Structure 1
Amino acid sequence: MPDHFDADTVLLQVVGGQSVADEPPGFATFAAPRRAARGREKDVLFLALNLRARNTLAADRYTELLHLAANTFFGSGGSVTSAARQAIFAVNKSLLENNLRTGPPVQGGLLCVILRQAEVYAVQAGPTQLIVGHAETVERFPASAGRPLGVSDSVDTLYFHTRVQTGNYLALTGNANWRDLSGLGGLATLTAAADRLKECALSDFAAMVIRLEPEGSVGAEPMPSPGVAETAVNPLSGWTERLRAVVKPPEPERTSVAEPEPEPVVNAPLNLPPTETVNIAPAAVEAAVGAAVPVSEPPAAGTNWQDLLRRTERWKKDDQPSAQILEEPPAPELRPFQREASPVIDWGQLRAQAENGLRSFGRAVGVTLTEVIRALRKLMARVLPEGTLQRDGMFTVPTTVQIGVAILLPIVIAGMAGLIYIQQGREQDFEEALSQAQTAVAVARTQTDVNQARTAWENALAWAERAESLRPGLPEVATLRLEAQSQVDALNGTARVAFTPLLPAGIAPEANITKLALGGRDVFALDSANNRVWRLTQNQPGVYTLDENFQCASGNLNPIVVGPLVDIQFVAGPPPAPGEGDTDVLLALDNAGALMYCKRDTPPLGSYLANDMGWVQPRALELYANSLYVLDTGQNQIWQYTASGDIFNQPPERYFSDVIYDLRDIVDFSIAGGEVFLLRADGRVAICNRAFGGNGVCNESAPFTDERPGRVSGNRLQDVLAPSAMLYDAPPEPSIFLLNPQNNGLYQLSLKLVFTRQFQAQQTFSQPISAMAIDPNKRFFVGVGNNVYAGNRP
């Protein structure tokens, strides 16, 4: 069987049971361009675009979107399905933006079929369909159309993969409805296959039919359908030929119009420096200035400036009016019995005299103080040892000390003032917090409504904790806090756990524990900050030590390269034979589908988990019944790997085959009693099983039962709005636990999602709980920051 094929293609359009000569729009075939992205060099892309609108769409609209899809696909690296998904996202974005801006809405579907050697990959969204005619069977994809493109930012994409050989047929359509097509793959010619599709059609349709021939037998590379140019792959090609040089037109020659040189001014009173003469044409002056601006005429050339100045001086002397001489009026006579006026006080003179006196007094005080300071400096110089802080027989402070005092003095004053303010402010804050706590407790005791009582007790607890932080150790405050805490715990169904750290100093200063796994007496902690797994081993009851020799970190394992780790699972091995080493294995999964096998005292091994669709976003793994389940939220799929000896190297089985669910918001999952529990980021839980024909079927929003006072049952718990992890606890009390980092609560639910109780730490952690595990003795293990804590379940 050849590894490469040529595609013999025909476009088929049937209306009223008859073929139409006009080729339908929306179909195209593209070969990889010369500068395709890495991984696209050997791909051949077939596109089927189905658009629906109130009015007939122009063929240019189909061409534009087909070009966009092809450019996006061949310009995107990574897996085939990832590049095809990017092409669908680009077309959806274009349709959505156009629908928001203009005209009636346009919806549709896009089918991307990629031929790579003997493999056919298909990624589809909206109303489109692919028929694959093998020699003995016919495959249809998908079973039902999903949400059309152009209506939302969210796109529902479906994936398909199959192998082909010479003589197989592919049929891409957007609106066909065919009855039984058995035997299609056994037809000898492309024309016979087209006739068969026409006969089996239940309605009008348009399709692109492809027959796969051995390489070189068709005689031409795959070409786009009419109306779709090869430049769709590289829209920049051909620009060089379309460029034209911009030639600057020659500037017109300037013609200077010379005016007659003006006559020199006679008898000029000033000797001006010579200036450069510029000849300007009159027409240019009129155009620049405008005819509306009047221009004054210059003085006549024969003006006698000396004579003009003499006449001006004479006018100044002769024409000025003469000044009048005013006689001093006589002093008024005093009449009998008339008193003389009292003398006027000159306040300005008095002010000047006062200022002079004060200035003299200030100088005298300054001289006195200077002499006193000088005498003190001499006295201090005599008291101090000779040469210490002295200069010229006087006490002298060095300049550096003076600068230091000038800097430190304001700081000391500000610190003392702040200390006094803080002390007084803390006292006032404590009094207010204590008063508010006492008031809230009094209000809560009188409440009859459960919800109002819960709010009042939570308010009282917050104020009591505030008062205790300001002045710890007061019995009065501790009593209020314990009463409020017990009432809140009773209303919320909370039991308190006393946690103790496994390592007093933590694992490492920069460590960040995100996953935990238990194996025998060992605790394995995934450190996402360092991308490694730590082993904590118990040497004696309650005493753990860090195994520095345990090797389980991401890196180059040759030939496997392990990237950032996302989850871990412990696999218990059989009892070792005499002389055999440890058989237990820790599995660590990275974000690209690589699986690392770690054992004690042995370097780690790695392998890539088989996945013909490619990994997008593997998030978590789970062991159940000798199978490994891996959740890939990017593929909306759970892959099941059956163990082969001690490793998982067999091709996977899809958990979801007929129905594809949206798993992009799943944060964790667990398996219990054959059912898969999927935890969503908003607190909802989906429960899936294979009760119908082996295909995974889910209740996407399973109901919760919450019988706590004042709580309401629904599709989530009211006080768990952003859980981060899920865990199954085995019998004798099979349960599902949810981790709520908002209050560091571990919520216990039955397998029917009935709330049982929640567990919280007695102490207050400095950071949220990020991981949890439960051992067979029902002890809790939680990861907080860089350490692991353990506590007995009450």
Structure 2
Amino acid sequence: GWRLPILRAMAGEEINSIVARLNDLARENTTALVGCYAGADQFGHLTDAIELLQTAPEALLPAVTPPSAAPRPITGAQTAPPAGETLAELLDRMRSRQPVTEGDPLPAALANVLGDGVPAATQADAHARDEADADEAEYGPATPAGPDPLPQWAEAEETASLEDAGAPTVQEYKRDYDGADELEEDDDDLPAQRPRVAEYVSAGLRAATQWFAHLPLAAARDSFDRGLKSLGTSVGGASRRLAGHMLPEHDSDPEFSVSQSTLAAIAIATPALIVMLTTTIYIQLGITRQFRTYMDGAQFAAAQARTASDAFAAAPSWKTALEQLDQADLLRPTDAEAAQLRTEARAKLDQLSKVARLPVSDITPRGFPEQGRITHLLALGSPLYALEAQANSIYRAVQTAGGYQLDEGFKCSAGSINDVAVTTLVDMALFETPNFLNKEAIAALDPTGKLLICPGDNTPAHILPLAPPDVGWTAPTAFALFSNRLYILDAIGGQIWIYNDVSQMGASDAAEDSAKQPPLPLFGTQPIALQDVVDFTLAQGDIFLLHRDGRLTHCIRQTASNDPICTQARFQDDRPGHASGAQLTDLLTPAAILFFPPPEAAFYFVDTGIAGAIQASPSLTVQREIRPQLEPNQNLTAFGLGAGRQLLFAAGPRIFAGERP
């Protein structure tokens, strides 16, 4: 409510002509007038200027000029605006006018437009008044402690009555509360004299649209380019100064320049690098906290185990400690504290479960392939044979003063010989003498029922096709040679097939060649459920079938003409926490069963899950668990019996040996 009273005080009776002139110019020169006003750095008060300029005379003048207050005629000192006056001339004339008194407060918008023509005190009052208006708009009207400003229409009415009294002051536009009721009644009588809100909104939208269309975007781009150039100059100068200290004197002023694209890349990469470093630190801190959590859990479990009443009662706590250490090792595999606690926990459990951790040495033959997966091991005195599944080859190594050496002359691989092909090698065994070669050899089986015979003296290999059963082969997976008989396990077919007179196989007389005679079924004409059998072996004429769940089937055959009698074998396990019964519960992933002959006869149940084997007596009494001390990243893939007390282990393409406990 300050615009018209103050303009009237500044311009006197000429205010009507000035306002009319401003409105006439604003209709056709709004863009130029706003641009001029914005060019004077008055962006903070642009809204006030637009509101004043876009208000129609018919909306403003009747609201501030009561019927009783007729405008005075223009005197010589107050000349009317000349015809054809331009916007610039009008603004210059307004800037050149002096205010009536220095005590009259002006709005900051008008004070800034008038510039130096307004005294400093008046400008200060104007700014103070604008700040008060802003506070009232944001926080609401303050509780008055004195006179309250008049509304715009009341100020205009009172101003008209006081024009003859001389120059008005700010106090003359105030009122106290004694006349509040009367003024409110007058306010009710003049509702049509107040400016309409829709007109202000429409005018503001039009002015804002034009203002946005004239934004100095090109200048902003130029400012950004100048900033990049300044940054490049700073970086280049720093680089030259650094080079001047580091390089010889004649190269002390090298030219360095950094392109704007490089600077932009640096600006983008810097926050990304900061985020990456922050994330890394956060992850490391999280890993440390998680590691300590697992270690605290393992130490707490170990403390409980140490205070247990006996070793059996302490076993669950030691197992919990090992589980926590397994999680801790995933975060810090080489932590010394965790390794020490693991050694203690493992030793306690090993003692309780009769686990023998066997020290082993690497005996991998020199020249052996570095890649592969050994699935079967066999030692016949000095020679060592290894079946490598990926290459479908059997390698032979001989022992020398410097260890095992690969026998390059031994060739035994899947392929074709005399138009007969062997595909995949699934198992191997010693092909004892007497045989059709009259020499010791190694025999390997493929799934189509063919034997690959490889002599030990490095003479060429032979392929011996076997006559298939009357029902055909399904999927042979293992075989064994015992007492001049050949036993082939066809687990999916539910049968074990027997070839007699192995010594006559391959004989030149076809009538005597047992390989050309169909095999006999071990279980008669009625197959049994063998689908979960992973391996079998013969022990002193009895057949033992190892199932995937740790069960063992024992089959006894009284005569060759009778069907065998098969029963579920029973294990005797006296270890604390283990139960005797038809199943070895410690077996996780049974892979093979081997029998070591007398005088130290024993069964070995190979388990790749525990990376070892469970040793049992011929009466199936559990004696111990044998676990080779392999590296953490080495998984057991094969187990074999060597000469004497030697035990063989394979981990991928590597071979290890240890002494049986």
Aligned partners of 2:439 and 2:266: how far apart in 1? 71
CA apart distance, 1:658: 6.0
In 1, the alpha carbon distance for the partners of 2:331 and 2:267 equals: 35
Separation in structure 2 between the aligned mates of residue 473 and residue 394 of structure 1, nearest angstrom:
47
* Contact kept? 1:729, 1:736, Cα under 8 Å: yes
- State the 1:421 CA deviation: 2.9
Correspondences of 1:29-68 after superposition (within 5 Å) = none
Alignment partners' CA distance in 1, 2:543 and 2:567 = 11
Q: In the alignment, residue 718 of structure 1 is paired with which amino acid?
A: T
Aligned to 1:503: 364
1:42 maps to none
Letter in 1 for 2:454: C
Q: Which residue of 1 aligns with 2:304?
A: 443
Q: Matched residues, percent identical? A: 31
* Cα separation, 2, equivalents of 1:693 and 1:495: 41
Which of 644, 658, 682 is matched with 2:503 structurally? Answer: 644
Q: Distance in 2 between matches of 1:643 and 1:394?
A: 88
Which residue, out of 402, 419, 437, partners 1:559? 419
**SS of residue in 2 equivalent to 1:713:** coil
State the alpha-carbon separation in 2 of the partners of residues 751 and 503 from structure 1: 31
**Contact kept in structure 2, 1:593 and 1:608, CA below 8 Å:** yes
CA contact (8 A) 1:506 1:788 kept: no
The alpha-carbon deviation at position 394 of structure 1 amounts to 8.3
Instruction: Give the AA of the match of 2:289.
Output: Q
Distance 1:725 1:457 in 2: 30
User: Of 454, 458, 461, which residue of structure 2 is paired with 1:604?
Assistant: 461
Determine whether 1:494 maps to 2:355.
yes
Query: 1:432-454 CA deviation, whole Å, 9 max, x = no partner?
Result: 22211110111223445876632
| Match of residue 338 from structure 1 | 179
Alignment of 1:363-512 (within 5 A): 369=227, 372-373=230-231, 376=234, 379=237, 395-397=257-259, 399=261, 409=270, 412-448=273-309, 453-467=314-328, 470-471=331-332, 476-503=337-364, 507-512=368-373
Q: Which amino acid aligns with 2:301?
A: A
| C-alpha distance in structure 2 between counterparts of 1:693 and 1:574, whole Å | 22
C-alpha displacement of 1:554: 0.9
Q: Which moves more between the two structures, 667-676 or 713-722?
A: 713-722
User: Deviations along 1:46-105, whole A, 9 cap, x unmatched?
Assistant: xxxxxxxxxxxxxxxxxxxxxxxxxxxxxxxxxxxxxxxxxxxxxxxxxxxxxxxxxxxx
In structure 2, C-alpha distance between the alignment counterparts of 1:504 and 1:407, rounded to whole Å: 56
2:460 matches 1:617: no
Structure 2 distance, partners of 1:379, 1:620, is 79
Output the amino acid matched with 2:467.
A
What aligned pairs does 1:69-84 form with structure 2 within 5 A after superposition? none
2:541 is the alignment partner of 1:674: yes
Cα distance per residue 1:640-673 (max 9 Å; x no partner)? 3222257584033432326542222211111011
CA gap 1:374/1:666 in 2 versus in 1, 3 angstroms: closer
Which letter maps to 1:689? I
Aligned residue number for residue 589 of structure 1:
445
Rounded Cα–Cα distance in structure 1 between residues aligned with 2:445 and 2:225: 87
Alignment partner, residue 382 of structure 2: 521
* Structure 1 counterpart of 2:9: none
Shift of 1:739: 0.9
Q: Residue 699 in 1 paired to residue 558 in 2?
A: no
Task: Could you list the structure 1 runs, at least 4 aligned residues long, displaced by more than 6 angstroms after superposition.
Answer: 331-337, 339-344, 346-349, 361-368, 380-385
Distance 1:368 1:462, change over 3 A: same
Other structure's SS at 2:585 match: coil
**1:548 paired residue among 387, 391, 408:** 408
Structure 1 residue matching 2:615: 3-state secondary structure:
strand
Matched, 1:775 2:642: yes
CA distance in 1, matches of 2:270, 2:643: 65
Deviations 1:452-481 (A, max 9, x none): 632221111233354456556665434322
What SS does structure 1 have at the residue aligned with 2:614?
strand
Return the offset for 1:505: 8.6
Q: What is the letter of the counterpart of residue 584 of structure 1?
A: E
Deviates more, 1:686-695 or 1:594-603: 686-695
Match of 2:584 in 1: 717
Q: 2:532 aligns with which of 665, 673, 681?
A: 665
Q: How many residues end up aligned between the 2 structures? A: 454
Local SS of the residue matching 1:630:
strand
* 8 Å CA contact retained: 1:567, 1:619: yes
> Any stretches of 5+ residues in structure 1 without a counterpart?
1-326, 576-580
Residues 363 and 510 of structure 1: is their aligned pair in 2 closer, same or farther, counting only changes over 3 Å? closer
| Residues 690 and 786 of structure 1, relative CA distance in 2, 3 Å threshold | same
Q: CA separation of 1:381/1:416 partners in 2, compared to 1, >3 Å: closer, same or farther?
A: closer
Pairing 1:761–2:628 present: yes
The 8 Å contact of residues 688 and 696 in structure 1, kept in 2 or not, is answered as no
Q: Which amino acid aligns with 2:548?
A: A
Cα distance in 2 for partners of 1:367, 1:775 equals 81
8 Å contact kept, 1:769–1:783: yes
Q: Distance in 2 between matches of 1:725 and 1:768?
A: 15
| CA distance in structure 2 between the partners assigned to 1:566 and 1:626 by the alignment | 21
Structure with the largest fraction of helix? 2
SS in 2 for 1:611: coil
Q: Evaluate the alpha carbon distance shift between residue 447 and residue 403 of structure 1 in structure 2; reply closer, same or farther with a 3 A threshold.
A: same
SS in 1 for 2:409: coil
8 A Cα contact 2:493 2:527, kept in partner: no
Amino acid at match of 2:463: G
Q: Which amino acid is 1:601 matched to? A: N
Q: Is the 8 A contact 1:518 1:570 kept in 2?
A: no
Contact 2:365 2:397 in 1 (8 A): no
Match of 2:485 among 609, 613, 627: 627
2:278, 2:365 → 1: CA distance? 39
Task: Tell me how far apart the structure 1 counterparts of residues 408 and 327 of structure 2 sit (CA, whole Å).
Answer: 42
Q: For residues 702 and 679 of structure 1, what CA distance do their matches in structure 2 show? A: 10
TM-score by length of 1: 0.50
Q: How has the CA–CA distance of structure 1 residues 507 and 429 changed in structure 2, closer, same or farther, with 3 Å as cutoff?
A: farther
CA contact 2:647–2:659 (8 Å) conserved in 1: yes
User: Does the 8 Å CA contact 1:450/1:710 hold for their aligned counterparts?
Assistant: no
The residue type equivalent to 2:412 in the other structure is C
1:629 CA displacement: 1.6
CA, structure 1 residues 363+695, in 2 after alignment: closer, same or farther (shift >3 Å)? Answer: closer
Helix, strand or coil for the counterpart of 1:482? helix
Contact preservation (8 Å) 1:506, 1:787:
no
- Identify the residue that residue 684 of structure 1 maps to in structure 2: 551
Q: Read off the aligned partner of 1:596 and give its amino acid letter.
A: L
C-alpha separation in 2, matches of 1:363 and 1:528:
69
Residues 763 and 417 of structure 1: CA distance in aligned 2, closer, same or farther (over 3 Å):
farther
CA contact (8 A) 2:367 2:405 kept: no
Amino acid at match of 2:295: L
Q: Structure 1's 447 and 790: CA in aligned 2 closer, same or farther, altered over 3 A?
A: same
Structure 1 residues 754, 677: CA separation in 2 closer, same or farther (over 3 Å shift)?
A: same
TM-score in terms of structure 2 length = 0.59
